[in-house]
Amino acid sequence: MDELLTRTRTAVWHPCTQMKQLDTAPPLPVARGEGPWLIGSDGRRYLDAVSSWWVNLFGHCNPRINAALVDQLGKIEHVMLAGATHEPVVELSERLARLTGLGHAFYGSDGASATEIALKMSAHYWRNTGKAEKNGFLSLQNAYHGETVGALSVTDIPLFKSTYAPLLRHTAQVPTPDARRAEPGESAEAFALRCADALEAHLDEYAATTAAFIVEPLVQGAAGMAMYHPVYLERARELCDRYAVHLIADEIAVGFGRTGSLFACEQAGIRPDFICLSKAITGGYLPLSAVFTTDAVYAAFYGDDTARGFLHSHSYTGNPLACRAALAVLDIFEQDRVIAANRVKAEAFTGLLDKVAAHKRVRHFRHLGMIWAFDVADARPGFSARFHHAALAQGVFLRPIGHTVYVMPPYVTTVDEVRTLADALCACLDRPDV
């Protein structure tokens, strides 16, 4: 095991990591996975309480997803999607179109590339419709939409963004409706409406040069699971319609049931102009992302002129294996009535996490669907890493964001496992050195 740690430090540049810190805080060597559990090369079991960066839904080594992939491996592993097509990509596009109310699926390989696709499509739409000056983008304060250069331009997290500012295109940010920022006595709804007024003021001034407003519906994940009232999305939809600005829903983190509905936008009763999907789309198996849009957007690209078309591409666009994993995920949602089952589960999980919410160090305990989060009042610098290691010692794999601890378990996690998790969280909070 020590040998693997030496080799990983030498050969692998880990994501979102200052490599020097690995000397004192080594990564967990994982040998296998089983349901919501990671099995370390030391033979110990760790509950994957963050679904491996929010991608896993139905556990590791899920027999049904495995079987779909084995079947697909015997047919075709990959074929390029320019000049060819295949059953898995067509079926997935049809089924997700029915579920999102949008269509014309365009595929990428990860979340950031979905953001890039939506931004490019939106600006290109305005160009094709004679309004090339509408090419600016608007996002929320503390937004996260990925880290490639275009996606980072609409991201608003200084730690990830500041260093690369000279490489990025200027974009505008409007106030986040993050309910923690409400004035004392102000409801989350009233605060969201106040933030929507700020959005209106911005659009009133800049709509003529704005292509799209991109948002993470209901939960700003990387900002620290910041949750907000759905009325904000309702108002954003009205305002984007009134000012002729596209609304891009980045459901990369919240899609596929995470907030309690299959897609978060459903809770606001709105349909965006673009929806970006990734992360859980394959149940955490393979990298895949997709952007769905409206017939109106699609129609603006359709014609005899090649350059009017959307000429974007990625080598692995619509990879058949990834699409089969995604189809197996949709089958599980249907066959197991996952959304309804999760509602019951989430209530039980919330009850078990009550004692965490009541802990004296905990502030702003919040919950939506299959996400629970809280802030730690007296967190000192380095809290996140210390809490991560304290949780590992308790058999739980967590990765706090700043002073926010969150739990985003795979949907197959049981009540008994969450009882253990609640005990582990309290044990970590009880440690004065964490």
Ligand X SMILES: *Cc1c(COP(=O)(O)O)cnc(C)c1O
88 binds ligand X (CB under 6 A): no
- Please say whether the beta carbons of 374 and 356 come within 8 A: yes
3-state secondary structure of 277: strand
Residue 392 has a CB neighbour count (10 Å cut-off) of: 18
Residue 227: CB minimum distance to ligand X, A: 14
Structure tokens at 408: 């985003």
Q: Say how far apart CA 327 and CA 342 lie, in whole Å.
A: 20
| Residue in 106, 126, 137, 144 binding ligand X, rule: CB under 6 A | 144
| Residue in 38, 47, 50, 112 binding ligand X, rule: CB under 6 A | 112
221 binds ligand X (CB under 6 A): yes
230 binds ligand X (CB under 6 A): no
Q: Is the CB of 112 or the CB of 398 nearer to ligand X?
A: 112
Residue 244: CB minimum distance to ligand X, A: 25
228 binds ligand X (CB under 6 A): no
DSSP 292-326: EE-HHHHHHH-SS-GGGS-----TTTT-HHHHHHH
DSSP 37-93: EEEETTS-EEEETTHHHHT-SS-BT-HHHHHHHHHHHTT-S---SSS---HHHHHHH
- Please say whether the beta carbons of 404 and 375 come within 8 A: yes
Q: Is the CB of 152 or the CB of 428 nearer to ligand X?
A: 152
Q: Is the CB of 277 or the CB of 376 nearer to ligand X?
A: 277
> Residues 6 or more apart from 377 whose CB is under 8 A from it?
361, 362, 363
Residue 56: CB minimum distance to ligand X, A: 13
Query: Left if phi > 0, otherwise alpha if psi is -120 to 50, otherwise beta: which for 200?
Result: alpha
| Residue in 111, 177, 260, 400 binding ligand X, rule: CB under 6 A | 111
| Residue in 146, 224, 318, 409 binding ligand X, rule: CB under 6 A | 146
| Residue in 110, 178, 266, 375 binding ligand X, rule: CB under 6 A | 110
The footprint of ligand X on this chain (CB under 6 A) covers a number of residues equal to 15
Straight-line distance from the first to the last Cα atom of the chain, in angstroms, rounded to the nearest whole number: 26
Site string for ligand X, 249-278 (x = CB under 6 A): -x-xx------------------------x
286 binds ligand X (CB under 6 A): no
Site string for ligand X, 175-214 (x = CB under 6 A): ----------------------------------------
Residue 34: CB minimum distance to ligand X, A: 24
121 binds ligand X (CB under 6 A): no
150 binds ligand X (CB under 6 A): no
145 binds ligand X (CB under 6 A): yes
3-state secondary structure of 394: coil
224 binds ligand X (CB under 6 A): no
For β-strands 289-293 and 274-277, DSSP reports them as: antiparallel
Which candidate, 124, 105, 120, 117, places its Cα nearest to that of 292?
A: 105
> Residues 6 or more apart from 318 whose CB is under 8 A from it?
81, 86, 89, 107
284 binds ligand X (CB under 6 A): no
Residues that bind ligand X (CB under 6 A): 110-112, 115, 144-146, 216, 221-222, 250, 252-253, 278-279
